[in-house]
Structure 1
């Protein structure tokens, strides 16, 4: 299974380093020196990570064959993709890898369909589930136990208990048990 683990940002300095927007909960594993990553667009890669370091709170990577700022700038917005074993799961039953959550159906406690998890955004203080709704819009759901009390991998669904205003008014009414007319 292939998963997007990062997006290349701006060049950093003149020796070919780039900033990356991390999209994995295990950057130390997926973005370690020696890792070979596929890319989107595919014509750019694969890319091999030579070095990685944190500078001012941002992860900087240097790829084999990228020796200057021009080469680094050419990689801007390229998605980095890792091959992940779908059978690989965390030891703690309360933890989940991104690949376990992507494509889960999202429903409220009373069964109202909210959408499907399209992406997980890893922020410094909490993770967000990016939920694609049936109408094509997206909603960001904080991935905390109070709002996402249940992940059922067997049923392939995430149950949420959204606070008022998290979903649009119609969905918020449904979540509060209002009439669904």
Structure 2
């Protein structure tokens, strides 16, 4: 199974280093020297990591055969893809790889079906499940423990306890009218 682990950003310096936007919780495992990564677009790779270091809070990588700024700049916006054993699990039992969460059924605690996870968006503040609803619409569910109360891989489901309005606009209207009554 393939997993996007980083996106190459701008070149750094004149010796072929690049900034990378890390997209894995295990950069030391996936982005260490000697790692061979597939690329998207495929014309850029595969790339083998020669060196890596942190500079001003950013990960800098240098790849074998990339020796100058021009060659590094040509890699900008390339996705780095690692081959991952689908049976491999993160060390922390509270963490999950994206491929484990994709296509899980999303249900309320009472079993009411909400939809199916179709994508996961990794934002700076939190991750979001993009849930395809049975009617074809999409809902965005923050992947935080206050809302996603259980991930049950064995039964292929994510149990959620959403606040009013997150899933159903009518819940938001009811909550808003209650708030208005409370103010009076």
Same fold (TM over 0.5): yes
Q: CA deviation at 1:166?
A: 4.1
Aligned to 1:85: 85
Asked if the contact 2:17/2:69 (under 8 Å) is kept, the reply is: yes
Asked if the contact 1:121/1:130 (under 8 Å) is kept, the reply is: no
Q: Which structure has the highest helix share of the two? A: 2
* 1:149 aligned counterpart, secondary structure: strand
Q: CA deviation at 1:150?
A: 0.6
Q: CA deviation at 1:26?
A: 0.6
Aligned to 2:3: 3
Aligned to 2:119: 118
CA offsets, 1:122-149, max 9 Å, x none? 74xx6413415344656251x3221111
Asked if the contact 2:105/2:113 (under 8 Å) is kept, the reply is: no
Q: CA deviation at 1:153?
A: 0.7
Work out which of the two has the higher radius of gyration on C-alpha atoms and give 1 or 2.
Answer: 2
Q: CA deviation at 1:106?
A: 2.8
User: Equivalents in 1 of 2:48, 2:30: separation in Å?
Assistant: 12
**Distance change (3 Å), C-alpha of 1:91 and 1:62:** closer
Structure 2 residue 155 is the aligned partner of structure 1 residue 161: no
* 2:148 aligned counterpart, secondary structure: coil
| TM-score normalised to structure 1 length | 0.80
Instruction: List alignment gaps of at least 5 residues for structure 1.
Output: 177-181
Q: Structure 1 residues 128-137 or 78-87, which shifts more?
A: 128-137
Q: CA deviation at 1:47?
A: 0.3
CA offsets, 1:81-137, max 9 Å, x none? 1000111113443332333223323333342424415135274xx641341534465
Q: Structure 1 residues 132-141 or 149-158, which shifts more?
A: 132-141
Instruction: List alignment gaps of at least 5 residues for structure 2.
Output: 176-184
Structure 2 residue 15 is the aligned partner of structure 1 residue 15: yes
| TM-score normalised to structure 2 length | 0.79
Aligned to 2:150: 150
